[in-house]
């Protein structure tokens, strides 16, 4: 068989342990499709390019290895970029490989010729155009390494069609891993940071999106358990008003020193300014890309992989006495504290259903180990507030909506032994409803729960807050039977109006062994807000 550039791409992916390509076919990438034949590299082909990236995003977050999306040039590439922004903000390791107009026709108006790299650069860690067929394997290996190293994030490589088709003989190259700081380089900064934390009265650790997952979060928990310093993840578009934080959101302005593990002083933290944080609060940043912030409250910045630095700090912390465990328990208790009226709402029989009544039924599945995938919007915020899961994926700091269904498919591939539960609103369902077809073709059973309030409710609530009830516009939807979409495609579907019927409908959805959609008529109430004067939406 003649070896071509496309074979180098496939060989580099396989050498890195990649086993799935999330893709939608097109002219410029058909050579890559052909090169996968007979190789242990499956193509999960979706109904929209953004869905392919969302699936790769979920894979990256759950496995901590890059998920790889493959799309075609021009419009296909552009369709993928909004999802790439979501992955960028969630610090998810993703590689987007896009077909590209032939390099030999550059500047001559080739079919679908455009500056794909320029379009991708703002939403990636790195983006470039491959220029040599013999180095395509090296391009792919380098992209995978950049995506997973340092602050994880998406990387894009444009693959010209003529390079993919060109005959080659060179094997794929593997890039050298970037080196970590030498241990002795961290001694001074680690000691200074520990001294500041030990002297504080109410220190707090805030972890960025990547640090809130997997092995990185384990490093956070080890440090927190040793020192008693409470640790909270910051991975929601609502930042410190994340509904999952519950009343712990009201502890942030009590902190006098905040350790930022892979987290910037950005909008999610209200830029560290009062009233979100106390005027005298000092910040210490640990980041692979740490830089001195232009803020007098940034006491110091430590450059390094945050999980490695935290483990180094934990080792050094054993020589000190820590007095913060009572404060840590106070914050942990606040994180679990919900308003007293919630118990009543979880068991209410009212119609349409309160979102917390839906959460009460879903919690049973999560208690059995289901993976929770939650979208944005008001119903999504209620789900994030009202559900607890061992494994949870949310839309992330980008504030985008529409990702839950394709992300749930990526989650099912990453965790095939677990039930996967996607929770999303009716408006959100419309983004990628036809990925239920992908689920059927790929044999990926999951349960999709649509909270149907016939409204773009997050925007509706903002209009009510800022403009008044007589000036709401452009938010109404029809109370459609979204479950029938699943049935029409060949899956399982039911619509539920009575709370008494919800648990049985969910049980039937699980037992169906098929992609299932439960359409639940809910009350369009505003999502919970815990902080006084906080921005809730």
The enclosing domain of 95 has a CATH number of: 3.40.50.970
The predicted structure's pLDDT at residue 379: 97
When mean pLDDT is compared over 2-6, 202-206, 300-304, the highest value belongs to: 202-206
Please report how many Cα atoms fall inside a 13 Å half-sphere around the Cα of residue 448, on the Cβ side. 39
Cα separation of 275 and 482, whole Å? 43
Do 332 and 417 lie in one domain? The reply is no
Q: Is residue 534 part of a domain?
A: no
Q: Are residues 351 and 323 in the same domain?
A: no
| Co-location of 106 and 213 in the same domain | no
pLDDT at 326 over 60: yes
User: 296 falls in which pLDDT band (50, 70, 90)?
Assistant: confident
What digits encode the pLDDT tens for the residues 348-362? Answer: 999 999 999 999 999
Same structural domain for residues 407 and 510? yes
Among residues 286, 321, 336, which one ends one of the domains? 336
Cβ burial, residue 212 (10 Å; 0-12/13-18/19+): buried
300 within a domain of the structure (yes/no): yes
CB 235 within 8 Å of CB 397: yes
Q: Which residue, 138, 139, 136, is CA-closest to 165?
A: 136
Q: Which domain holds residue 46?
A: 5-165
Of 287, 314, 312, 311, give the one whose Cα is nearest residue 298.
287
Cα–Cα distance list, 76 to 48, 112, 142, 434 (Å): 8, 10, 23, 17
pLDDT of residue 169: 82
Residues 81 and 213 in one domain: no
Is residue 347 domain-shared with residue 487, that is, in the same domain? yes
Asked whether residue 117 is assigned to any structural domain, the reply reads yes
Token match 């919800």: residue?
Answer: 502
Is 50 exceeded by the pLDDT of residue 371?
Answer: yes
- Do 304 and 409 lie in a common domain? no
- Whether 533 is covered by a domain: the verdict is no
Q: Which of 336, 364, 387 marks a domain boundary?
A: 336
Please tell me the distance from the alpha carbon of residue 444 to that of residue 210, in angstroms, as a whole number: 26
Share of the chain above pLDDT 90, in %: 90
Residue where one domain finishes, among candidates 336, 365, 380: 336
Largest CA distance in the chain: 69
> Could you tell me if 346 and 301 lie in one domain?
no
Task: Judge if 276 and 241 occupy the same domain.
Answer: yes
Percent of the chain, pLDDT > 70? 94
Tokens of 281: 């609060």
> Does any domain span residue 259?
yes
Question: Residues 514, 369: one domain?
Answer: yes
Is residue 505 one of the residues assigned to a domain?
A: yes
Would you say how long the chain is, in residues? 537
Instruction: List 198's β-bridge partners, or say none.
Output: none
Out of 9-18, 176-185, 395-404, 477-486, least confident range: 176-185
User: 487 with 462: CB under 8 angstroms?
Assistant: no
Q: Are residues 17 and 91 in the same domain?
A: yes
Closest CA to 68 of 10, 132, 112, 135: 10
Predicted TM-score (pTM) above 0.75: yes
Q: 3-state DSSP call for residue 238?
A: coil
Q: How many domains does the chain have?
A: 3
């Amino acid at each position: 068989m003649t070896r071509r550039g496309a074979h180098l791409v496939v060989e580099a992916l396989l050498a890195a342990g990649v086993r799935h390509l999330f893709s939608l076919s097109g002219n410029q990438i058909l050579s890559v499709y052909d090169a996968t034949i007979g190789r242990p590299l499956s193509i999960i082909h979706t109904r929209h390019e953004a869905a392919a990236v969302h699936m790769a995003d979920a894979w990256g977050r759950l496995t901590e290895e890059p998920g790889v999306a493959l799309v075609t040039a021009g419009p296909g590439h552009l369709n993928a970029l909004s999802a790439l922004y979501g992955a960028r903000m969630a610090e998810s390791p993703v590689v987007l490989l896009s077909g590209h107009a032939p390099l030999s026709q550059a500047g001559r108006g080739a079919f679908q010729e455009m500056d794909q790299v320029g379009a991708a650069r703002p939403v990636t860690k790195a983006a470039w155009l491959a220029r040599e067929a013999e180095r395509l394997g090296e391009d792919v290996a380098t992209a995978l390494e950049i995506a997973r190293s340092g602050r994880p994030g998406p990387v894009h490589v444009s693959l010209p069609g003529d390079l993919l088709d060109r005959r080659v003989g060179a094997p794929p190259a593997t890039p050298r891993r970037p080196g970590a700081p030498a241990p002795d380089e961290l001694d001074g900064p680690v000691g200074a940071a520990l001294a500041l934390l030990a002297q504080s009265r109410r220190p707090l650790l805030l972890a960025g999106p990547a640090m809130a997952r997997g092995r990185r979060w384990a490093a956070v928990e080890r440090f927190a358990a040793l020192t008693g310093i409470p640790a909270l993840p910051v991975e929601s578009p609502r930042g410190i008003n994340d509904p999952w934080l519950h009343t712990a959101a009201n502890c942030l302005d009590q902190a006098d020193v905040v350790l930022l593990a892979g987290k910037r002083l950005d909008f999610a933290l209200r830029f560290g300014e009062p009233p979100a944080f106390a005027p005298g609060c000092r910040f210490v940043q640990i980041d692979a890309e740490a830089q001195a912030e232009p803020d007098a409250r940034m006491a110091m910045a430590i450059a390094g992989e945050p999980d490695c630095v935290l483990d180094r700090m934990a080792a050094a912390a054993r020589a000190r006495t820590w007095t913060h465990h009572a404060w840590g328990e106070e914050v942990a208790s606040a994180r679990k504290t919900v308003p007293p009226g919630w118990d009543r709402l979880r068991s209410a029989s009212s119609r349409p259903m309160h979102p917390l009544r839906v959460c009460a039924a879903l919690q049973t599945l999560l208690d059995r180990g289901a993976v929770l995938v939650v979208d944005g919007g008001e119903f999504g915020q209620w789900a994030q507030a009202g559900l607890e899961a061992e494994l949870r994926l949310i839309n992330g700091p980008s504030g985008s909506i529409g990702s839950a269904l394709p992300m749930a498919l990526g989650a099912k591939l990453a965790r095939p032994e677990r039930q996967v539960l996607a929770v999303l609103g009716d408006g959100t369902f419309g983004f990628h409803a036809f990925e239920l077809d992908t689920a059927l073709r790929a044999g990926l059973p999951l349960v999709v729960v649509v909270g149907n309030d016939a409204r773009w409710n997050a925007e509706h609530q903002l209009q009510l807050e800022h403009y008044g009830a007589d000036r709401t516009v452009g938010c109404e939807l029809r109370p459609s039977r979204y479950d029938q979409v699943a049935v029409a495609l060949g899956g399982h579907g039911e619509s539920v109006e009575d709370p008494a019927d919800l648990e049985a409908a969910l049980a039937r959805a699980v037992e169906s062994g098929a992609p299932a959609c439960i359409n639940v008529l809910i009350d369009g109430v505003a999502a919970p807000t815990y902080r006084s004067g906080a921005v809730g939406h």
